[in-house]
Amino acid sequence: MAIELIDFDLSTQEMRVLRKTAAQAVISLRLKDIEISIISIISQRIKNLNKLYRQQDVVTDVLSFRYEDEGEIFICLPQTKRQAKENKVTLREELQKLIVHGMAHLAGYDHIKTRDFQEMKKIEDRILNKVK
């Protein structure tokens, strides 16, 4: 298992917490056999990716892409900061939530249907509770 966090301008302690969160998600979601890159990007870049791959011409918070033995999770840091403020949580907590959400997508979960959303949310909450 390899997890790489790229372009996050955070303290060593915050990065340690994010790595711990990602590692717990890998274990809980049984993603041990893939290499995962978690990349912080700007709003325009995630909007372009969202339009290209999902036909959604809007900024989103997180996008995940799974290949055979690799996965990429793109997190829009400006959007994450806005959401943290709206949700009255710390940036770290919002990043943890998005990392776990992205990992769940890599594991094959989605939230298109309400039932799937509820199942995915339970799994994410369980993982996040393990790293608190």
Domains of the chain: 2-130 (3.40.390.30)
Q: Is 84 annotated as a binding residue?
A: no
Q: Find the distance separating the first CA and the last CA of the chain, reported in whole Å.
A: 22
Cα angle 119, 121, 124 (rounded to 5 degrees) comes to: 110
Residue 1 pLDDT level (bands cut at 50, 70, 90): low
Q: What is the residue-averaged pLDDT of the chain?
A: 93
Answer whether 60's CB lies under 8 Å from 49's CB.
no
pLDDT at res. 33: 87
Question: Is the pLDDT score of 25 beyond 90?
Answer: yes
Burial of 108 (0-12, 13-18, 19+ CB in 10 A): exposed
Give the tens place of pLDDT for each residue, 47-65.
999 999 999 999 999 999 9
pLDDT at res. 41: 96
Token pair recorded at residue 97: 């939530």
Q: Is 31 annotated as a binding residue?
A: no
User: 71: part of which helix (H) or strand (E)?
Assistant: strand 70-76
Q: Is 115 annotated as a binding residue?
A: no
Give the tens place of pLDDT for each residue, 93-125.
999 999 999 999 999 988 888 888 899 999 999
